[in-house]
Structure 1
Amino acid sequence: MPRVLIAGMGDVGILTAIHLSRHVSVVGVSAKPELVTGQELGVRLARPDDWARDNRVAFERYRRLDGVRRVHGSLTGLDLDAREVTVRLSDGSLAAEAYDVLVVSTGVTNGFWRNPDVQSREEIDAAIQSHHRTVADARSVIVIGGGAAAVSAAANLRIRWPHKVIDLYYPGDRALPQHHPRAWEQVRGRLVDIGVGLHPGHRAVVPDGFTCDEITHQPVQWSTGQPAGEADAVVWAVGRVRPNTGWLPASLLDENGFVKVGPTLQTPARPELFAIGDVAATDPLRSSARNRADRLLAKNIRAYLAGRPLKDYRPSDFRWGSVLGVQDDGLLFFASDGRTIQIPAWAIHRVLLPWVVRRGFYRGVRNA
């Protein structure tokens, strides 16, 4: 039976493995012993237990992963001709894993909440609780950045602790520049209503050598000329993503280190190599994970192995989905054209999560 090796078992890697698990032999390599998503930063900081219920899930809970062999470690190298990857296991030893098809879904490093480090469950616990305690103990918080992660952080911190001073600083005239303009108008109204201070036109000076991977306390300088910003805690969500591709040959990467792929999600140089998610240079937004290309990828892999034609991935023009996360009144969902849908809380907990997500997308998730 052909062997498909999935490098990176984040959300899109898991979904791809689930689609393939009954058709080919699947091996998944993950730096974590469980799914730890980079989504919903604000809920993670403000309500880590609520966040963990659907964004931190043990691999053993996914029924369709029962037949998938999982390797806990970090990828250190790739031999294209031998069709083999090298993995440094969690105990420090090295292992080689062969493949017939390789899927690169190793994602990106972004701030303190998305990293490629090999971690145990205890280390993941400690990091999440440490970040939560830092913002919980702060009387004032500055959030820097204009993307969904920054907006989510500012909103959820203010909702969780309405007595805190929460300020959002972003470089453009509006935040959420990758969403439809109508989405920002809706979110801006909510931020104003709950008392988040909005500061457009502020571009932060990132200190030399600082990778934005921790919550800081020092004053923030602005290259746009405003007086320094001060708060007890500074959350850096400036979008300085770094692809986790140091283990790949340079011939597979574009000038920014992302994996070059064609419309079928295959690499141009090696048809047996596919890439998906934030690490894949599919389009300017690298939107294949959010646009549910995992199903297309699985079909294309099976077609490649059978010698059949493959289908193309078609990205959307704007980001879509949730920005603020699930709140007491439900979920505000943004379509790619900026239209909003308010999903009530009862529908999320009784229908969307148990039936659409856990049963439909993941084909069954066992109770924790």
Structure 2
Amino acid sequence: MSRPRVVVAGLGDSGLLTAIHLARADVDVIGISSKPGLVSGQELGLRLARPDAWARDYRIAFERFRRLDGVELVHDELTGLDVGARVVTTRHRTIGYDVLVVATGVSNGFWRHPRFQTEADVTEALGSAHDRLAASASVLVVGGGAAAVGSALQVATRWPEKSVSLAFPGERALPRHHPRAWGVARRRLAAAGVALLPGHRAELPPGSGADEITTGPVAWSTGQPASTADAVLWAVGRVRPNSGWLPPDLLDEQGFVRVEPTLRMPGVPGGFAVGDVAATDALRTSARNRADRLVARNVVAHLQGRPLASYRGRERRWGSVLGPEADGLRVFAPSGHPFRFPAWSVDRVLQPWIVRRGIYGGVRRGR
């Protein structure tokens, strides 16, 4: 008797981990990705300021993951889903499934998108963004979330001679984190010489969608005089779900995939969704709260006819905000309290043992 076939659509941070868990079950797993390997959406600031250091931990070829050895990997772009026939289509294939896990994530700025990329495409994109900032004497970061705050700090510490500003619309940045997190971040930004511009809401460049690094001036709808900069980094949270390949009736008004508390997709037999594309809660927190484990367990339970567990979201964001610093990596709890991994432990303990061995189940050395 053939084993059930589970298709994981999207192999970003959440989809990759889901496929790794499912690879240990009595199922055949097919992972579909528009990228040639993991190209994480995490730590934008490190990616821009130190792309080689970022790539070491956040850009990893799929063949290096030991637990993906039994997974069929499809490097292609998703184009459609036929719920009745239980097939997904890509540009070049039609793939049937018994269970489908949608984990296609979101688009956000120039660094997160669903477009098909080769290794050369990824390398070129990393280098061009870094080179653009390196050649700029002044950098304006627009946005109040973790991507904006971390980018401002990483750019300022990588190039202390640059003029770096951070503009955000509220009285404080990180509005979805506990206020303590912003207190810590504000002090780190001030120490790095970042000029803070609270109460500045930008008028987005016409037609650009804030999906590229631009040049000033930047106009403010809140009434301040326009600001100039050699490079303007837009990190304004214009998140768009990568769900255009799915039937519209499976999506909510914003285009995110509707799910039940068990992460099952209503109206889709054998369908589940996880990660940033899944409308789990107001903040769509399933990616940050390791729901990959839960959805993998629920897939197996579904196939075995057992009850499914439910996901519970969180009311505040948490995790890394600032990225690796000279004195280590700060990880913020939901309470806003930071836990600091000393600098020596990041490369010797956190990445090799906690992340590569513990979370990913083993990662082979790269070339």
The answer to whether the superposition gives a TM-score over 0.5 is yes
Question: Is 2:59 the partner of 1:56?
Answer: yes
Partner of 1:333, secondary structure, is: strand
SS in structure 2 of the partner of residue 277 of structure 1: coil
Q: Does 1:45 align with 2:48?
A: yes
Structure 1 segments (4+ residues) deviating >3 Å: none
- How far does residue 207 in structure 1 lie from its aligned partner after superposition? 2.6
Using the TM superposition, give the Cα deviation of residue 208 of structure 1 relative to its aligned residue in structure 2, in angstroms: 2.6
- Equivalent residue in structure 2 for 1:11, among 7, 10, 13: 13
Residue 28 of structure 1 is matched in structure 2 by 31
Determine the structure 1 residue equivalent to 2:162.
164
Q: String of CA shifts for 1:90-111, please: whole Å, max 9, x gaps.
A: xxxx210001111110001110
Matched ranges for 1:84-95 at <5 A:
84-88=87-91, 94-95=92-93
CA distance in 2, matches of 1:138, 1:172: 27
Residue identity opposite 1:25 in structure 2? D
Paired amino acid for 1:172: G
Superposition pairs for residues 157-306 of structure 1, below 5 Å?
157-306=155-304
Letter in 2 for 1:10: G
Report the equivalent of 1:120.
Answer: 118
TM-score by length of 2: 0.98
How far residue 345 of structure 1 moved from its aligned partner, in angstroms, is: 1.5
Q: Deviations over 1:89-142 (max 9, x none)?
A: xxxxx2100011111100011101001110100011011100000000000000
Distance 1:337-1:271 versus aligned 2 partners, 3 A rule: farther
Distance 1:40 1:350 in 2: 19
Q: Give the alignment partner of residue 363 of structure 1, picking from 334, 347, 361.
A: 361
Residue in 1 that maps onto 2:75: 72
**How far did residue 218 of structure 1 move?**
3.0
Cα displacement (A) at 1:36:
0.3
**Per-residue CA distance 1:181-235 (angstroms, 9 max, x = gap):** 1100110011111110000100100133221111001310111010001000000
Partner residue, 2:341: 343
User: What is residue 135 of structure 1 aligned with on the other side?
Assistant: 133
Listed one character per residue, the Cα deviations across residues 256-314 of structure 1 (whole Å, up to 9, x for unaligned) are 00000111001122241111111000011111011011111100000000000000111
Pair 1:154-2:160 in alignment? no
Q: Which runs of 5+ in 1 are unaligned?
A: 89-93
AA aligned opposite 1:36: V
Picking from 95, 100, 103, the partner of 1:102 is 100
Q: Distance in 1 between matches of 2:179 and 2:24?
A: 42
Aligned to 1:83: 86
Point out where structure 2 has 5 or more consecutive residues left out of the alignment.
Answer: none
d(CA) in 1 for partners of 2:293, 2:24: 14
State the AA in 2 paired with 1:69.
Answer: E
Letter of the 2:75 partner, please give it: H
State the 1:328 CA deviation: 2.2
3-state secondary structure, aligned to 1:116: coil
Measure the CA separation in 2 of the matches of 1:258 and 1:293: 17
Residue in structure 2 matched with residue 91 of structure 1 by the alignment: none
Identity of aligned residues (%): 62
| Aligned equivalent of 2:4 | 2
Q: Take 2:22 and 2:116, find their aligned partners in 1: how far apart are those partners?
A: 25
